[in-house]
A and B are shown apart, each in its own frame.
Chain A
Amino acid sequence: MLEIHDLHASVNGVEILKGIDLRVDAGETHAIMGPNGSGKSTLALVLAGHPAYEVTSGSVSFDGADLLALGPEERARRGLFLSFQHPIEIPGLRLDHFLRAGYNEVRKSRDEDEMDVLKFDRLIRAKAKDIRMDAALTKRSVNEGFSGGEKKRNELLQMAILEPKLRILDEVDSGLDVDALRSVADGINALATPQSATLIVTHYQRILDYVVPDAVHILIDGRIVRSGDKQLAAEIESKGYEPVAEAAGLAPAGGS
């Protein structure tokens, strides 16, 4: 489904991604782990098409298409979804209006009819219930005044509504307590299908206890320095990133 080959990307002229190779197939869950500042969010944002990040070389194919040639909205319409590490607040834009606009734009791109307000309202309520989110939040401005956990749930709600093929979840567990983490993880698992794939981007291993990965990749200083199975996540949990970084001849970027 997703094939990344020797991907280099810069922001403001500074190279952050220094040659990423990764292949994710349908039905798989991969985890990208790495210390703060190693480039995890950069990778996620580059895949989603953030204009501030410049791809300087390499290629990415998504479902056979050249992903890097597509604008962010086109990537989303083809089934790529990014759950943001820091979802933005948009004063004045009602969440349900935003959700419906996105849903209908995706439908239109598939030559399907737009869904009217009443039907969509029912859809929102059903999906919110599935992921145990208070549907009243959708009458408020997008993320405005939401708690950290509510913002993450809102990302999940959008994912539930858009039913993407490739789900990129950037630090989906940050700001969640244990119970919230479990229910968010349940949501992620429940929404998975054999046709979809998941890329979990995380600093901590704990989400991987709930959403079990098929493969784990360690990203340090813009490179994947080691890949393995879920045992690798457990190893990071007990020993930290330093031994992996040292073995790769690097000091881990950022803090611990």
Chain B
Amino acid sequence: MSAQATDEARYLAAFEAAERNGAAHDPTWLRELRRDAMAEFTRAGFPTARRGNEPWKYTDVRSLASTAFVAPDVTEPLGEIDLSPYDLPCPRVHQLVFVDGRYAPQLSTDPPSEGERASHVFFERGDGPIVGRIAEAAHYDVPLVREHLGKHAGAAAGAFTSLNTAFVRDGAFVSIPDGVSVPEPIYLLFISTARPERPTVTYPRVLIVAGRDSSATVLVSFESLGDGAYFTDAVTEIVAGPGASLRCITLQRESDAAYHVSTTNVTQARDSSVSTVTVDLGGGLVRHDLSVLLAEPGASASLNGLYLGRGKRHVDNHTFVDHAVPGASSDEVYKGILDDDSRGVFVGHVLVRPGAQHTVAHQVNKNLLLSDGAEADTQPKLEIFADDVTCTHGAAVGQLDPAAMFYLKSRGIGEAVARALLVHGFVREVVDSIADDAVRQYTDDAVMAALRAG
């Protein structure tokens, strides 16, 4: 058996153990979904090849593949966790918290599940959002979950998606009924205890289904309490119905030793608008695959991101916007701040399919290099098979403007604060794209704190 096969075999063994323990209550469709995903993962393997492996040419996952991550110990009681550093500056209304992959009822706004209450949550709420657990939704066989889970991030999305699906048991299920606007942000918080003695793997999973003409803001946060190494393999599926307006913000602040691989798949119906903002302030090796399918005319997507590279951090954003129909639009702005020996990668793929006339697609990636050791790779990939379209793309790599630096210093501002202010100014456009006041303020504070920490 080759070394590579051994890496996958570890996950297969973990999968079989998990299926033996307590999978019996899950509906058949879910068990089959997992089994097929495991087969797919075993077949594909980790994308470790360093040749002929275009999607991973900038990001080497060999050390991730070879590390023997283990499942978190679910028998251990959760210690006291102080959530106050993660409080949004607004009332807590919809909050789900998972610690090392485990649902933490005492930290979440929904009380622990009891059969009747849970069934009420999933079947009887008409005027508010459903913010619940995938485990419960699966237990009650909620049709929306059966219909959508694993359908938008299928096997084609890659080995990491398959791996997540192979282990999907729980996670967050958010459903906004038709016509419902949720004023408060929905907050999904995934916390890793990150104890150094035990490198663990978790599979955070999120499914968001926004009904016709609904509106909501969802913040998905990845936080770490320690500085150990661990592996977060996250998958988010977003389905926006006709006329839906959805804003999804991801804030990643994993430990510097963490591997964070996430796949997000968005499917948009007619006249829907989805805005994603991906903010990376932590992690050791970070990879996001964000795919947006503009499936019906009038759909519009905005994809924004900012990443802060420090130390040896490696952040790779791959985005894919699929203009499958005429009259859809996409607008993309990613900004990177790269310091020390960090590396930022941006690959923005836009596909305008034949017949997708009147497509409007804009894409910009800008990077600020703060040290000689930092590196930015940026690669727009535009494939346009329609002739009546407006598509633009731009990329820039620059340094802090010394004239601006002097201007700030001449007002008494010291080197560190001056840098933080200028860098913050550089990425403010991305933070400002967050419409919800509380989430924007929270994200802005997180960005500023991360900048000043350097």
Q: How far is the CB of A206 from chain B (nearest CB, A)?
A: 26
For the complex, would chain B's binding face be called helix, strand, loop or mixed by DSSP majority? helix
Report if B411 contacts A (CB, 8 A): yes
Contact check: which of A52, A91, A92, A98 meets B411 at CB < 8 Å? A98
Please indicate which of the listed interface residues B411, B415, B417, B426 has the most CB atoms of chain A within 10 Å of its own CB.
B411
Contact check: which of A72, A82, A101 meets B417 at CB < 8 Å? A101
Contact check: which of A52, A93, A99, A105 meets B422 at CB < 8 Å? A93
B411 and A76 contact, CB distance less than 8 A: yes
Contacts A90-B425, A93-B422; A98 near B412 (Cβ below 8 A): no
Residue numbers in A under 8 Å from B403 (CB-CB): 88
In Å, the complex CA distance between A90 and B428 comes to 12
In Å, the complex CA distance between A71 and B410 comes to 9
A76 and B409 contact, CB distance less than 8 A: yes
Q: B373-406: contact bitstring with A at CB < 8 Å (1 yes, 0 no)?
A: 0000000000000000000000000000111101
Number of B residues contacting the other chain (C-beta, 8 Å)?
24
Chain A residue with Cβ nearest B415 = A73
In Å, the complex CA distance between A76 and B415 comes to 13
Number of A residues contacting the other chain (C-beta, 8 Å)?
34
Report if A174 contacts B (CB, 8 A): no
Please indicate which of the listed interface residues B403, B409, B426 has the most CB atoms of chain A within 10 Å of its own CB.
B409
Report if A162 contacts B (CB, 8 A): yes
Residue numbers in A under 8 Å from B404 (CB-CB): 88, 90
Residue numbers in A under 8 Å from B135 (CB-CB): none
Contacts A98-B421, A101-B417, A101-B421; A90 near B407 (Cβ below 8 A): yes
Q: How far is the CB of A2 from chain B (nearest CB, A)?
A: 16
Contact check: which of B408, B409, B413, B414 meets A49 at CB < 8 Å? B409
Residue numbers in B under 8 Å from A141 (CB-CB): 425
Residue numbers in A under 8 Å from B418 (CB-CB): 73
In Å, the complex CA distance between A194 and B163 comes to 75
In Å, the complex CA distance between A92 and B429 comes to 7
A92 and B427 contact, CB distance less than 8 A: yes
Report if A62 contacts B (CB, 8 A): no
Report if B198 contacts A (CB, 8 A): no
Report if B146 contacts A (CB, 8 A): no
Report if B148 contacts A (CB, 8 A): no
Report if B424 contacts A (CB, 8 A): yes
In chain A, positions 37-51 with a C-beta closer than 8 Å to chain B are 48-51
A72 and B406 contact, CB distance less than 8 A: yes
Contacts A73-B415, A97-B421; A51 near B406 (Cβ below 8 A): yes
Chain A residue with Cβ nearest B448 = A97
| Chain A contact residues, CB within 8 Å of chain B | 48-52, 71-73, 75-77, 81-82, 84, 87-88, 90-94, 97-99, 101-103, 105-106, 109, 141-142, 158, 162
Given A73-B409, A101-B421, 5 more pairs with CB closer than 8 A: A49-B409, A76-B409, A76-B413, A81-B410, A106-B412
Which 3 A-B pairs give the minimum distances between C-beta atoms? A92-B425, A93-B425, A102-B411
